Amino acid sequence: MTQGKVYLVGAGPGDPGLITAKGIECLKRADVIVYDRLIDNGLLDFTRHDAEVIYVGKSSKTHAREQHEINQILVDKAREGKVVVRLKGGDPFVLGRGGEEAEALFANKIPFELVPGISSALAVPAYAGIPVTHRRVASSFAVTTGHEDPTKDISSINWEKLATGVDTLVCLMGMGNLARIVEALLKSGKAPNTPVAVIRQGTTLQQQTLTGTLATIVEAAERADFQPPVVIVIGEVVGLRQRLAWFDNRPLFGKRVLVTRSRNQASVLSRLLGECGAEPVELPVIEIEDVPDSGELDKAILGLPDYHWVLFTSANGVDAFWRRLRALNLDARWFRHVRIGAIGPATAEALVVRGLYPDLLPEEHTSEGIVAGLAAIGIDGIRILLLRSDIAPKALINKLIELGAEPHEVTAYLTRPPAESISRAKQMFLDGKIDIITFTSSSTVTNLLAALGNELHAAKQAKIACIGPITAATAEKAGLTVDIIAREHTIPGLVAAIELYLREHEGEV
């Protein structure tokens, strides 16, 4: 049997974006992933669907597996000829017992490779706005554990030298021993007014930072009921946080925002929310499907030269139309005799990347906007092909008829609720874990409410943010109070509207 190999991979301290590119490549290749408690579950999305995933997390009170068991798992899986990733928080060789695991592999003649990670000793203070060194404040730093091996007879930490020999001291895993650490430093000559920061769940959207001095921090931490995991920073650099804090000062920091778009559309909204400090919770309430019988759509595509205008109301419509266009061995040249209208920049962009530039893109990204644009041109007797969802409201087509046009509506794609997200959605609401719900179309409203059933009151606990007035009207008709309506009916516009609302209603959400 071919010998396997183990990769000891540092995942970074919590923010999944801090893992290295090489670490991601290892995850993609692995047959087996053995991972720790503080690993962001989003990293597991990079693994193969057939990979074996083994949880071996530890906390101060419970261990899923003891260290000797973890060592044996790595050895056994490698002996089966498998590529194994041991995914560890921070850096494997910085107070992470990676050295012990490497020794066990060496002793059993198992090939291994180390993929370093960003240590929490550096990243967590940085995310709290605390540089461990600064030219005017600190020229040295040291990292120590706050939780030594309990089998040791004598501590190997020389607190006296640490207290006077370095400018900045970073303690990992020290929450349970905070009082002892402070006492040891004070006895060793550290000044009582030395600044201290205790940072909980650093680099995540649950990050909390408590500051004080050696004289006050223990009482402050007890009063705030600070719990692990924490990183403790001791030194004058802590004072720089007042000016350099950036991560937890972002406008949406710590808010849980429900993203109700389809799976393939959620990423842009989630990314923008994350950049503003929010925690996006992706619970797709719609799935986009192709029509089961493409006959009518194909007929409309083949008859495109007979129309004067073709209107696209969503990027989904563009995608569905284009798939059938290619299936019919046609391309962008087929549009040469027809003018194109699009509602909103996302729809326009879906056309532009295919070499098609809309002739009409209204400033108001709504059905009313495109109707007004067409009315200004004059569309009496004009044949218009309208590509839409199977559940699109009829207001647009009725307005076109009133203007004397001859619209032909064709279903380009289907909108369906994904059954598997229903129970998760309900539980999130019932647990009160959602601060803001975003709706990006009327269908996201109706499908989420259908998923909630009789639990509509649960949705009312959160603030409601809608991409535009039509979506807002659907939500209000369903009995929801809409708090936020985007002025610009786009995804960036929706995020900007949420930011503005939180600024104007600080402390209410």
Domains of the chain, earliest start first: 5-118 (3.40.1010.10), 122-249 (3.30.950.10), 256-286+418-504 (3.40.50.10090), 292-414 (3.40.50.10090)
Q: In terms of Cα–Cα distance, which of 410, 411, 446 is closest to 290?
A: 411
CA distance 415 to 444: 9
* pLDDT, tens digit, 9 for 90 and up, residues 7-31: 999 999 999 999 999 999 999 999 9
3-state secondary structure of 320: helix
CA distance 51 to 41: 15
Q: Where are any strands of DSSP class E within 307-444?
A: 309-312, 339-342, 383-389, 406-416, 436-439
Token look-up 């494997």 returns 92
> In 190-341, where does DSSP find H-type helix?
217-224, 241-244, 266-275, 295-302, 315-327
Pairing type for strands 463-466 and 484-485 reads parallel
Token pair belonging to 372: 């007004």
* Residue 341: predicted pLDDT: 95
The DSSP output letter for 304 is G
Instruction: Provide mean pLDDT across the span 51-73.
Output: 86
Pick the residue with more confidence: 507 or 228? Answer: 228
CA distance 333 to 352: 14
In terms of Cβ atoms closer than 10 Å to its own Cβ (0-12, 13-18, 19+), residue 402 is: exposed
Q: Is the pLDDT of residue 58 over 90?
A: no
Q: How many CB atoms lie within 10 A of CB 17?
A: 11
Instruction: Provide mean pLDDT across the span 317-326.
Output: 95
CA distance 32 to 22: 17
| Positions marked active-site | 36, 58, 173
* Residue 283: predicted pLDDT: 78
pTM of the predicted model as reported, rounded to 2 decimal places: 0.73
Residue 229, preceding bond cis, omega within 30 degrees?
yes
* pLDDT, tens digit, 9 for 90 and up, residues 295-316: 999 999 999 999 999 999 988 8
* Residue 506: predicted pLDDT: 82
**Residue percentage of the chain with pLDDT more than 70:** 94
